[in-house]
Structure 1
Amino acid sequence: MDLLADHLVRARATEAVFARTVAEPPWGLRLGGSTQLSVHTVVRGRGYLWLDTPGSTVELIPGSVTLVRGGPNHYIGHEPGAECLEPEEFRARHAQIDPGENPQATVFLCGAYQFSGDVGSGLLDALPQVMTLSAADDDSLRDVITLLSRELVRTELAQQIVLDRLLDLLLVLAIRSDFRHSATAPRWYRASADPRLGAALRAMHETPAHPWTVPELAAISGLSRAAFARVFREALGKAPLQYLTEWRMTLARDHLRADDLTLAQVADAVGYGSPFAFAAAFRRHHGHPPGNWRQRERAAADTSLFTNTHPADKQ
């Protein structure tokens, strides 16, 4: 069990909507904050990305990738502060440009990821608002950026499949690179590399429904019960069984939002002996019984889908 892989799989970050764009100066594109994670890379030329906040401008050049976490709007253009169009108007203005006709044109890729549930939200919350990674930072990242750049400047059979896979790789490498070097990486990520805690954490994530006890987890870690509880609290900021309960509740919320499992099946999946025990634990954590919580969340999701159009769907 690899904890980062487990989070990515549960977050269902497996598909991207993307667009390859060629634009002649002057150009600018506004992208709304409803996209949970945007990925931008320049294949040829250069551009700039900025938020509404002062001092947020970053340069986009070949060989680098910039990720933007959802929330505020962001903008990309030929120069900082350029006039930016909405996606539909931008596409209409730049749709007919051939990159071979104008060496001054910028060729760039915009990708958009949607994550699922609280596991995905937890991954995103651990990332900075804007993160730029250079191919020089990581050999694997450089290889993927090189392949992506080559694929984007030509038209080949099955190109969509190749680009989908490369974007998935790019996302995983970017998150892994940031977590490896960031002081704000999730505690579970740092603790998973601790030889005293890694095995116990992997066990809890791999089989959350198991009736784990502190002595059992301590034995997996090769520590005494007291030493394990102390080291775990220092690393994770909470007691082992509190961490386990919160992880079970996270999984339960994602099941209730996305699956058609009955409450009894959800209870069994997250380690409660009966739907009554699960309902009581869920109510303690959320103030509502799981059935009512599920109805409210799904109604809110239906309303959101009806009233909002994902900006990347138009790319």
Structure 2
Amino acid sequence: MDLLRDHLARARAGGAVFARTVAEPPWGLRLAGTIQLSLHTVVRGRGWLWFGADGPGRTVELVPGEVTLVRGGTDHYIGHEPGTDCLEPDEFRARHATDGEPDSPAATVFLCGAYRFSGDIGNGLLTALPQVLTLQAAVGDPLRDVIALLSHELAHPEPGQPTVLDRLLDVLLVLAIRNDFRHNPNAPRWYHASTDPRLSPALQAIHENPSHPWTVPELAAISRLSRAAFARTFHEALDQTPMQYLTDWRMTLARDHLRTGELGIADIAHSVGYTSPYAFTTAFRRHHNQPPTTWRQQESAHNAQPQPHNTRPH
């Protein structure tokens, strides 16, 4: 069990969306902040990315061989130059070709992707990322091969393309998150702890089987440490006890189950390690100050509220 893979597998809400575009200047595209995670890469030419409808503040140049991820929350813009007029996605697609090869040497060929995440696990991954993250692919870096394969796949549709694109996007996302988390002191504690050979076996066991009635001695034995040494090392790395981490992870899984509405309380209780619905409800109430049924009702009511027009997904 790879903890990053586990988080990504549980966080993905569905297949990603990707498009290849050929655009000649002037061109500009607005992307709504409701897109949870956008991915941009230029195959030929160059472009610019910025925030702010009233004009560019911070700008990021998009050049071949790099991949830029943008976390949602704020609208962002890409264009042939900073501050150019930007169209809504539907109008942009109608005006610019989405496939084929460029006829003009001034044309830019670029790829845009959009990921959807679900639940608290997905939100946890997103909030750990910076607003903008750019990956640079040196000569010989496999990242360049992934980008080239993406561009070729989008330009030459064949049977099975959605599956191929989904897998390639997963590769890009893993490379980006791994690159950022490895060097980011604010990366989730579980990521750095998962690379510690003293803690990795216990964390993998918890994630692989969260319903098991784990104890500190049992987790310590898996990690080949004494109980005291394991508890101390775990707390130093994750700022909580092993049992607190286990409970938090179970509650995270429970909230995502409650949010989807696919399982009843008894099934959720069993899946996250509680012997009865009553035991689960007691633990959930202690953790959230309300029973799971109330939490689910409030979450459903919140999600049913209409979104403001200016933040509607495109």
TM-score (ref. length: structure 1): 0.91
Aligned to 2:303: 301
Residue 138 of structure 2: SS of its match in structure 1? helix
Contact preservation (8 Å) 2:20, 2:98: no
- Does residue 1:310 correspond to 2:309, yes or no? no
- How many Å apart are 1:227 and its aligned residue? 1.2
Instruction: Find the partner of 1:120 among 112, 119, 122.
Output: 122
Task: Work out whether residues 50 and 77 of structure 2, in 8 Å CA contact, stay in contact via their aligned partners in 1.
Answer: yes
Which residue of the partner structure matches residue 42 of structure 1?
42
Q: Retained in 2: the 8 A contact 1:23–1:97?
A: no
Given residue 194 of structure 1, which amino acid in structure 2 is its aligned partner? D
In the alignment, structure 1 segments of 5+ residues that lack a partner are: none
- CA deviations on 1:165-221 (whole Å, 9 max, x unpaired) are 322221222222222232222110110111111111111111111111111111111
Contact 1:15–1:168 (Cα < 8 Å) also in 2: no
Percent identity between matched residues is: 68
Q: Distance in 1 between matches of 2:302 and 2:157?
A: 41
Give the alignment of 1:139-178 within 5 angstroms: 139-178=141-180
Counterpart residue identity of residue 42, structure 2: V
Counterpart of 1:248, as a letter, is R
State the alpha-carbon separation in 1 of the partners of residues 140 and 187 from structure 2: 18
1:164, distance to aligned residue in structure 2 (A): 2.9
Q: In the aligned structure 2, how far is the partner of 1:288 from the partner of 1:138?
A: 54
Q: CA deviation at 1:90?
A: 1.8
Per-residue deviation, residues 30-87 of structure 1 (Å, max 9, x unmatched):
1110111001111111000112397521111111110001111111011111121221
CA spacing shift, 1:97–1:236, aligned 2, 3 Å? closer
Structure 2 matches for 1:265-304, cutoff 5 A? 265-304=267-306
In the alignment, is residue 212 of structure 1 matched against residue 193 of structure 2? no
> How does the TM-score come out when normalised to structure 2?
0.92
Task: Work out which of the residue numbers 238, 244, 265 in structure 2 matches 1:242.
Answer: 244
Distance in 2 (CA, whole Å) between partners of 1:186 and 1:55 is 29
Spell out, residue by residue over 1:226-249, the C-alpha distance to the aligned partner (whole angstroms, 9 max, x if none). 111111111001111111111110
Aligned twin of 1:19: 19
Write the distance in 2 (CA, Å) between the matches of 1:169 and 1:192. Answer: 20
Output the amino acid matched with 1:188: W
Deviations 1:286-310 (A, max 9, x none): 2221012112212322335797742
Q: 1:136 to 1:259 in 2, by over 3 A?
A: farther
Kept in 2, the 8 Å contact 1:38–1:70? The answer is yes
Q: For residue 30 of structure 1, what is the aligned residue in structure 2?
A: 30
Specify whether residues 305 and 203 from structure 1 end up closer, same or farther in structure 2 by C-alpha distance, changes over 3 A only: farther
Aligned to 1:5: 5
**Is 2:20–2:99's contact at 8 Å kept on the other side of the alignment?**
no
Aligned to 2:74: 72
Contact map agreement 1:140 1:173 (CA 8 A) in 2: no
Structure 1 window deviating more from structure 2 (15-24 vs 260-269): it is 15-24
Residue pair 1:63, 1:146 contacting (<8 A) in 2 also: no
* Matched length: 311
Structure 1 residues 306 and 32, CA gap change in structure 2 (3 angstroms)? closer
Deviating more after overlay: 264-273 vs 166-175: 166-175
Task: Say whether the 8 Å CA contact 2:211–2:272 is kept in structure 1.
Answer: yes
Cα distance in 1, alignment partners of residues 208 and 236 from structure 2: 22
Q: 1:96 to 1:33 in 2, by over 3 A?
A: closer
Tell which deviates more after alignment, 155-164 or 282-291. Answer: 155-164
1:138 deviates by 8.0
How far apart, CA to CA, are the structure 1 residues paired with 2:231 and 2:16? 41
Q: Which secondary structure does the structure 1 equivalent of 2:25 belong to? A: coil
Q: Secondary structure at the match of 2:69?
A: strand
Letter in 2 for 1:85: L
**Residue type of the alignment partner of 1:162:** V
* 1:138–1:236 distance in 2 versus 1, CA, 3 Å: farther
SS of match in other structure, 1:120: helix
Counterpart CA distance in 1 for 2:98 and 2:235 is 59
Unaligned runs of 5+ in 2: none
Alpha-carbon distance in 2 for matches of 1:233, 1:138: 40
Corresponding residue of 1:82: 84
